[in-house]
Structure 1
Amino acid sequence: MFQAKGGGQTKRPSDVPDRRAHALALLRAIDGIGDPAAQGRPGVYLEIEARPNEPFVTKSLDASGLHLLRVDSDAKNEAEPARATVFASQVGLANLRKKVEAFQDEDTQTGRPKNADLVQSIRAIVEAGLRALWRSPSAKFPEDDGATHPWEIWLDRSGTDHFIAQARGIGIRFEGGESQAEGGRLEFPEDIVVVGYGTHAQIAEAVRTFGTVKALAAPTVLSDYFEGLAPEEQAEWARAMEGLLQPPAAADPRYITLLDSGVGLNHPLIRPFLDPADRHAAQLGWGLDDSRGHGTQLAGISLYGDLLPVIQSNMPVQVQHRLESAKIIPDAGQNPHHLLGAVVLKAVNAVEANAARGRTFSMASTTDEDTPHDGAPTSWSSEIDQLTAGVSGNQKRQRLFVISAGNTDQNRFRGGDYLSICDDPDHEIESPAQAWNPICVGACTDKVRLPADLPGQPVAPIGDLSPSSRTASWWRHWPIKPDVVMEGGNWVQDRLPPRMKHPALSLLTTDHQYPMRSLTTTADTSAATALAAKAVTELWEDYPALWPETIRAIFVSSARWTQQMKTHLPANPSKGDFAKLFRRYGYGVPDQARARRSAANALSLIVQDTIIPYRPSDTAGADPVHNQMKFFELPWPRNALRALGTAEVTLRVTLSTFIEPNPSEAARGSKFRYASHNLRFKLNRANENQAQFKARINRLADDPEAEAVADNDGWVYGRNRRDVGSLHIDELRCAASDLARRNMLAVHPVAGWWKSKSTRNVSQKTARFALVVELDTGDVETDLYTEVEAAIAAMNAARVQMVV
């Protein structure tokens, strides 16, 4: 069944009662601001307030001399309306005035006032003050007491040097040296961040006069500050945050189940979310506490993410999920290698002896004793695939697993290109993270800020792979791993041999030694995995009815490569050039906002369905044959797409299923014999009707390699990257008018070990799958959602089953 994900409210504001009066009020407000050029200023900062309880249409506030800096849309009532902060040049201010005048006097061909969506969503326009640029919690805004305060200043890259030089002339001083290496600035793709010291009046004068500031924030201390505090000071911070905790309000919350070294129960930031009865161990006789510290560190990350910004905010902390602990690492020694899969199985069974719960299993324990495996299954990875598919364990149900990719050996780094070490086959992703069904998490980093008194520089540039993250040694045949990357900290190179890990470039979290130590730091792919478990669980809280296969699809499909990651591609990449990025970063960094939303010009359609892929052959003694194809007529916004004409749009399709593994030696080298079933998706071509589309799929059913050349009609990644593993993602970029005719999607089986004559009751073997279809028109403003919503209602869950 199709459903559209995310808010389905109308995206147009309602008509104002008096069109002319509304326009005149806004024109008076614009004229009252004055001419910035006459005042010797490059422009003016505007604070634009939305009409209460109406959609806030802001796209037109980022064009024609207008630069949209910030939208505060978290307002929950009329007393706190949504607001946008916009920098307007002289031309931009004049253009905004023209838009309002056109609304007042002119109509479109459909009879609506011109610029109606923009103008009718605005209640007021005023010149912005410093608070309109403030991106930190409002409680941290400095007092206007005449004293000098530190300010984190976000600047436009092109005007940074001019701003600093001029601001110094009015008494503002800046922290650190002149460059990023000297600790004086952080450089991002579009911004440069510096810390300036000045009074309210000085900062306001600099902002108003020089027009380069994009945002202001409270300078944050680094994680090493908290790790270096005395025990009593750490405990004071922890107790203060404890008073701000708001435990889950839901009667049946989701759980993150940590398969690790145990979790300490007495920490004040963990105790409210971990019941004593929810601590378990894989082996009888093991203690339930955490003597190693690793599990308690990941518990803090699983609850709060990086504690650094949270503990400083002094704001209420809402956590909707809870924790379970299933100890798989003994307090002393280690598990025998051949028992690793069995230990995890016992831990899962111990946890699931409790009442059925919605769980995300998070495991940051891997082994390098199976390397090199080159992506092929091992006993441990195969057991994880069985548990995930629901064919192992006392409870036979599908499970959502998140597993770390494993860490590199930092002792091998001696300067130079750290990525060459991460890419070395000796540092391939550790078992069991190559398993097909779990989400494998690698590490990236945005942490590049060092303490001012620390020499050296960060190893990884912002937005690239964390130096600790392992990568895939294979580039085809086996699944794309890691699936995603998340923050795992950075290393610092300050001498040779280098000192690597530093608390300032790590994530702040909870310490297992409470009350002796309350806070510590953690990093690497373990921290990244805990962050992913938190994000996945929060997503599942929003969509509790979705299957684990579907949550995996939505979460991984939301990931994108950063601009820094894409610098490793040539100017005009071919499909093969993406292999390097997939091996390092998977699909990139997940975007929780993208995973949750369905905006007017970027929407997602979700399908959850089942398929019986094979049936007995009509020929006695022959292998089973393909049975079903699932055929979906997409509820496309055809009118909106046709109206866009040749404008490029992006279609992203994700197909997710959990396979049952067959790791026998004969099957180990074949993706078609390891997986119980293999599914593929196909989209019809612009000139292909339903009958032609079905015939093409039928030809491919018995020969999945047959479309090596013919399936390259606009897909970005292509079949070599798409048709591996049990999670398939690809993007199609084409003209909107062409996509309007490409509205038929098929899911069909290819070979799997179920399709063998030794499989009993093959016609009763049912596979679940999830489809996520995302359509994005990019910067082109159009309303897709309304038409799709109407089409879904009219089609009544458009779904047609076809028998091959």
Structure 2
Amino acid sequence: MASDRSLPHLFIRQSATAEPYSPPPGGPVGNKVASPNDPTLHAQGLLANLERAGNKIAAKKQAATVEPVEGAVSGVYVEFESFPGVELAVESLDSRVGKVHPELMSVQPVETAYGLVERATVFVPDGKLQNFVKKIEEYAETADTERPTHSNLVNRIKEIRLASINALWTDPVDRLPRVDEKIWLEVWLRVRDGREIDRFREFAAQAEITLHRHILQMADRVVLLAATTLEQLSGALDVLDDLAEIRRSNHAAEVLALQPAVDQGEWVSALLERTDHAPDDAPAACILDTGVFRDHPLLRPALNAEDCHTAETPWNTQDHSGHGTEMAGLALFGDLGQALVAAERIHLRHRLESAKILPPPPAFNEPDVYGLVVAKAVDRVEIQAPRRRRVFSMAVTAGHDTPNGESVSNYGQPTSWSSAIDALAYGHSIDSATDSGQVVIRTQEAEAHPRLFVVSAGNIFPFDLDHLTRSDVEPVEDPAQAWNVLTVGAFTERDDMSEAPAGFNGWRPLAPRGELSPHSRTSVAFSRTWPVKPEVVFEGGNAAASPDDLMIDTPENLQVLTTQAPVQRPGQLGLTAGTSAATAQAANMAAQIMCSYPSLWPETVRALIIHSAEWTSAMRSRITAEKKKVDRAALLRRYGMGVPDVGRATRSASNALTLVAQETIHPFNGAGALREIHMHDLPWPVEVLMGMGETPVRLRVTLAYFIDPNPGRRGWRRRYTYASHGLRFDMRRATESNSDFRKRINRKALAEEEARPESHAESGEWFFGAKLQQSPGSVHTDIWQGTAADLASRGAIAVYPVTGWWKENPKKDRSPDGARYSLVISIDTPSEDVDIWTPVAQQIGVPITIS
């Protein structure tokens, strides 16, 4: 148990030594594919496919009804299908040889009657189909050898055919509209020469397709909204080389859980009288929502009129539904109920901002790319107060249109919305420009300005008696799957039905104290190629079941008290619940951390929140009962790392030390190779730990960073990976020397002809282990438990890069600018009379005050 947390965290300045890096041998090996029984016959079949495609191409060109578009490269779209259970060699389909070459547009897994296959759509310029013919012929000529030429490419391909418009559909197949059904679609264009938008406009005018005024432009993709049928859109295949993907347009779902208001005017006045508000230049929690009712007496002192914004100028800044005001009260006060009944003065150190991203009815049904709305809102907030430190809080999500029993293969995949949020968090600036009546918002590559977003996981409705199973099959909603955001789920401690309102006699709480809230979604249903979400959980209220289990409801005593806008009912206080309430409380904690440590990066604030989280007794009993790390990982996708604590996030104790490092690494060398590894020789309380001997202690490590997103659905492997780069950590083992540690993790630390040292046995135990430490995402955390004596010898940690699209696309590699990361390391000892903080502070050079 930690003693009073009254000491600051210790910051390690310039602790990392950069060294040339090459990963050690024995890394992950790609999936090998068996050769066909008759390679020659297989090659002949694929050549016949290409011949039929060539004949259809000629016929299509003669029958084309749409005029050619100036500047477009003439060619065709070809679809490659894999054998069941096999991935295509997508890099080989996109050779990038020559000025004009075949280019991979999209990759999509598809469930067929004969199993799960992968389908890739490739644009092939005129005359370049021969590239594939030649490769298959060379394969056939060497078919009788042990490894035929181009076998990794050809052995994976089951069939080749001319692509239809459906081949560019990258949402689940069950969401594919009828060919004559006119709906709003996201049309994803590849970025080639900067004129792709103009070309598509020209085609749209010919085909009588309506385009929305918003356009989202990212590194190598442009996203437009088009009201069209697939039949209309299919004409683009004949005249454009720009089409990359087609998806349904996502719509934001307003989360409105307003309950009957309670007149608490006297309580509000009393709280206002004993509240000290922060100055105008203090950090802020910016509420991205329905607006905020600024005239609320508890909010007005913390929210200036000039800090209330709208994504679109015609919208009024006032809250039109009440949801934004509910979020504002929790983001400002945290637990507002506790603040109201407390006797002491409350000293608020942060302020509020509001940016309205949901329009008032009836405009809310207008289709849009919501990433653009958020981008415009962020832009206006930052123009008003460019130097203010802030956390963006967004409790607005869009649901999945996948009924029970249908495919969930897309769960966790990036969307235009989540990718835009990732780009904003990474630090891209926003350039809004009006061109030909359409608003184009581009992510800019220069001068990164990282931002912290906290986003709700999304809510479940209706509830289920078996709420944990229901939560495990209900994935977090868009854009909560974004890699760079802090995704917030909900747990609950509200299980007391003794003060339930009339009508709820005999009802029982659905979730026991400390469990996941019945409101909360998870990432248990995600493919393991996507990050763990949520990362943390905050209070989100509970639900109750009737005595006969036939009804489930949310009585007032199981909800969260907050501020209310007088939109639908009078009163200053109201109730809310779910992951929205949890997210606003997470924003409150983030703002408090920013106030405590003004020099922290957004990446570090996110890391500290996650690092401070602990599982409740209810959660821990389930997690520790699982002996297999893979089963623990599934529960991690339900609970995240648990419930954060602002005390742990901001303060150390004499026997509970937290070290923080903020560093910049250069992952790649601009030529497609890894560049450097960071070796941290940590200030470590060696003597104190050695003196504790066999006493059990706990070490926790959290590595966090932001990635630059690459949202095109092209397989997300190697050069098409979603993340620009990945980072991982490894720690020196108790019996390793620094030299052996370097040689174990870095091939370049070995002398010529020197063998890699034998792996030392790991002391203690990592709770999740190396496999989960290597899992996708931009935050990696684990807990080690062992003896103090063993921990004394572990005071070195390495941070090293793994692949990403920067590495595979050297021309777009931003490694020379550096990639920031935050490293948080904590040691917890059970003895309150042990001081591990002071010796480390002395090594760092922190002045020690003796009282």
TM-score of the alignment, normalized to the shorter chain, above 0.5:
yes
Aligned to 1:443: 490
1:94-139 CA distance string (max 9 Å, x none): xxxxxxxxxxxxxxxxxxxxxxxxxxxxxxxxxxxxxxxxxxxxxx
What does 1:20-99 align with in structure 2 at a 5 Å threshold?
none
Letter in 1 for 2:373: V
Aligned to 1:626: 674
Question: Could you say if the C-alpha distance between residues 497 and 614 of structure 1 is closer, same or farther in structure 2, counting changes exceeding 3 Å?
Answer: same
What does 1:143-158 align with in structure 2 at a 5 Å threshold?
none
Q: Any idea what SS the aligned residue of 2:609 has? A: helix
Which of the numbers 396, 399, 402 marks the counterpart of 1:368?
Answer: 399
Counterpart contact for 2:689–2:788, Cα < 8 Å = yes
Question: Could you say if the C-alpha distance between residues 580 and 240 of structure 1 is closer, same or farther in structure 2, counting changes exceeding 3 Å?
Answer: same
Q: In structure 2, how many angstroms separate the alpha carbons of the residues matched to 1:531 and 1:405?
A: 14
Q: In structure 1, how many angstroms separate the alpha carbons of the residues matched to 2:809 and 2:8?
A: 48
Counterpart contact for 2:729–2:797, Cα < 8 Å = yes
Which of the numbers 360, 375, 379 marks the counterpart of 1:331?
Answer: 360
Counterpart contact for 2:718–2:804, Cα < 8 Å = no
Aligned to 1:109: none
Q: In structure 1, how many angstroms separate the alpha carbons of the residues matched to 2:806 and 2:611?
A: 28
Question: Could you say if the C-alpha distance between residues 337 and 719 of structure 1 is closer, same or farther in structure 2, counting changes exceeding 3 Å?
Answer: farther
Which has the higher mean CA deviation after the structures are superposed, 559-568 or 506-515? 506-515
The answer to whether structure 1 residue 678 and structure 2 residue 739 are counterparts is no
Question: Could you say if the C-alpha distance between residues 769 and 711 of structure 1 is closer, same or farther in structure 2, counting changes exceeding 3 Å?
Answer: farther
Deviation at 1:700, TM superposition (A): 10
The alignment's TM-score, normalised by the length of structure 2, stands at 0.62
1:312-370 CA distance string (max 9 Å, x none): 33543322111111000111143555411111111111111112210100000011147
Aligned to 1:389: 426
1:650-682 CA distance string (max 9 Å, x none): 111111111101111215467981111111111
Aligned to 1:190: none
The alignment's TM-score, normalised by the length of structure 1, stands at 0.66
Q: In structure 2, how many angstroms separate the alpha carbons of the residues matched to 1:661 and 1:588?
A: 27
Aligned to 1:235: 265
Aligned to 2:693: 645
Relative contact order higher in (CA < 8 Å, ≥ 6 apart): 2
Aligned to 1:247: 277
Aligned to 2:783: 731
Deviation at 1:712, TM superposition (A): 6.6
Deviation at 1:227, TM superposition (A): 5.5
The answer to whether structure 1 residue 290 and structure 2 residue 337 are counterparts is no
Aligned to 2:773: 722
1:600-655 CA distance string (max 9 Å, x none): 111011111101111144xxxxxx21111111111111111111112221111111
Question: Could you say if the C-alpha distance between residues 483 and 672 of structure 1 is closer, same or farther in structure 2, counting changes exceeding 3 Å?
Answer: farther
Deviation at 1:477, TM superposition (A): 2.6
The answer to whether structure 1 residue 666 and structure 2 residue 721 are counterparts is no
Deviation at 1:475, TM superposition (A): 6.3
Letter in 1 for 2:7: G
The answer to whether structure 1 residue 378 and structure 2 residue 415 are counterparts is yes
Q: In structure 2, how many angstroms separate the alpha carbons of the residues matched to 1:360 and 1:699?
A: 40
Deviation at 1:396, TM superposition (A): 4.1
Q: Any idea what SS the aligned residue of 1:568 has? A: helix
Which has the higher mean CA deviation after the structures are superposed, 679-688 or 478-487? 679-688
Deviation at 1:570, TM superposition (A): 5.7
Counterpart contact for 1:491–1:501, Cα < 8 Å = yes
1:259-290 CA distance string (max 9 Å, x none): 00000111111111111111111112111111
Aligned to 2:560: 507
Q: In structure 2, how many angstroms separate the alpha carbons of the residues matched to 1:409 and 1:604?
A: 40
Deviation at 1:762, TM superposition (A): 5.0
Question: Could you say if the C-alpha distance between residues 773 and 496 of structure 1 is closer, same or farther in structure 2, counting changes exceeding 3 Å?
Answer: closer
Q: In structure 2, how many angstroms separate the alpha carbons of the residues matched to 1:429 and 1:711?
A: 39
Counterpart contact for 1:301–1:530, Cα < 8 Å = yes
Question: Could you say if the C-alpha distance between residues 761 and 341 of structure 1 is closer, same or farther in structure 2, counting changes exceeding 3 Å?
Answer: closer
Aligned to 1:431: 478
Question: Could you say if the C-alpha distance between residues 572 and 274 of structure 1 is closer, same or farther in structure 2, counting changes exceeding 3 Å?
Answer: closer
Q: In structure 2, how many angstroms separate the alpha carbons of the residues matched to 1:633 and 1:509?
A: 47
The answer to whether structure 1 residue 303 and structure 2 residue 332 are counterparts is yes
Q: In structure 2, how many angstroms separate the alpha carbons of the residues matched to 1:794 and 1:357?
A: 28
Question: Could you say if the C-alpha distance between residues 672 and 751 of structure 1 is closer, same or farther in structure 2, counting changes exceeding 3 Å?
Answer: farther
What does 1:130-529 align with in structure 2 at a 5 Å threshold?
229=262, 233-248=263-278, 250=279, 252-332=281-361, 333-334=363-364, 336=366, 338-355=368-385, 356-369=387-400, 372=408, 373-394=410-431, 396-410=448-462, 412-413=463-464, 415=465, 417-424=466-473, 427-450=474-497, 451=499, 454-455=504-505, 456-472=507-523, 473-474=525-526, 476-494=528-546, 496-513=549-566, 516-529=570-583
Q: In structure 2, how many angstroms separate the alpha carbons of the residues matched to 1:588 and 1:700?
A: 39
Q: Any idea what SS the aligned residue of 2:553 has? A: coil
Letter in 1 for 2:349: Q
Counterpart contact for 1:632–1:745, Cα < 8 Å = yes
Q: In structure 1, how many angstroms separate the alpha carbons of the residues matched to 2:846 and 2:509?
A: 56
Question: Could you say if the C-alpha distance between residues 299 and 491 of structure 1 is closer, same or farther in structure 2, counting changes exceeding 3 Å?
Answer: same
Q: In structure 2, how many angstroms separate the alpha carbons of the residues matched to 1:406 and 1:535?
A: 20
Question: Could you say if the C-alpha distance between residues 324 and 571 of structure 1 is closer, same or farther in structure 2, counting changes exceeding 3 Å?
Answer: closer
Question: Could you say if the C-alpha distance between residues 780 and 315 of structure 1 is closer, same or farther in structure 2, counting changes exceeding 3 Å?
Answer: closer
1:136-159 CA distance string (max 9 Å, x none): xxxxxxxxxxxxxxxxxxxxxxxx
Letter in 2 for 1:745: I
1:568-619 CA distance string (max 9 Å, x none): 24646231221232111100000111112211111011111101111144xx
Deviation at 1:792, TM superposition (A): 2.1
Counterpart contact for 1:613–1:765, Cα < 8 Å = no
Stretches of structure 1 that go unaligned for 5 or more consecutive residues are 11-223, 618-623, 796-804
Aligned to 1:636: 684
Counterpart contact for 1:476–1:720, Cα < 8 Å = no
Counterpart contact for 2:734–2:762, Cα < 8 Å = no
Deviation at 1:241, TM superposition (A): 2.6
Question: Could you say if the C-alpha distance between residues 506 and 9 of structure 1 is closer, same or farther in structure 2, counting changes exceeding 3 Å?
Answer: closer
Counterpart contact for 2:427–2:451, Cα < 8 Å = yes
Letter in 2 for 1:466: S
1:712-738 CA distance string (max 9 Å, x none): 752111123222211010111122112
Letter in 2 for 1:7: L
Aligned to 1:7: 7
Deviation at 1:242, TM superposition (A): 2.4
1:373-409 CA distance string (max 9 Å, x none): 3222111111111000002425840001100000011
Q: In structure 2, how many angstroms separate the alpha carbons of the residues matched to 1:773 and 1:615?
A: 28
The answer to whether structure 1 residue 579 and structure 2 residue 608 are counterparts is no
Letter in 1 for 2:485: P
Question: Could you say if the C-alpha distance between residues 632 and 293 of structure 1 is closer, same or farther in structure 2, counting changes exceeding 3 Å?
Answer: same
What does 1:107-122 align with in structure 2 at a 5 Å threshold?
none
Q: Any idea what SS the aligned residue of 1:345 has? A: helix
Letter in 2 for 1:302: A
Counterpart contact for 2:261–2:570, Cα < 8 Å = no
The answer to whether structure 1 residue 785 and structure 2 residue 837 are counterparts is yes
Letter in 2 for 1:342: L
Deviation at 1:793, TM superposition (A): 3.0
Aligned to 2:95: none
Letter in 2 for 1:521: L
Question: Could you say if the C-alpha distance between residues 337 and 649 of structure 1 is closer, same or farther in structure 2, counting changes exceeding 3 Å?
Answer: farther
Deviation at 1:784, TM superposition (A): 0.6
Aligned to 2:620: 566
Letter in 1 for 2:514: G
Q: In structure 2, how many angstroms separate the alpha carbons of the residues matched to 1:572 and 1:692?
A: 33
Q: In structure 1, how many angstroms separate the alpha carbons of the residues matched to 2:717 and 2:815?
A: 26
Question: Could you say if the C-alpha distance between residues 458 and 759 of structure 1 is closer, same or farther in structure 2, counting changes exceeding 3 Å?
Answer: same
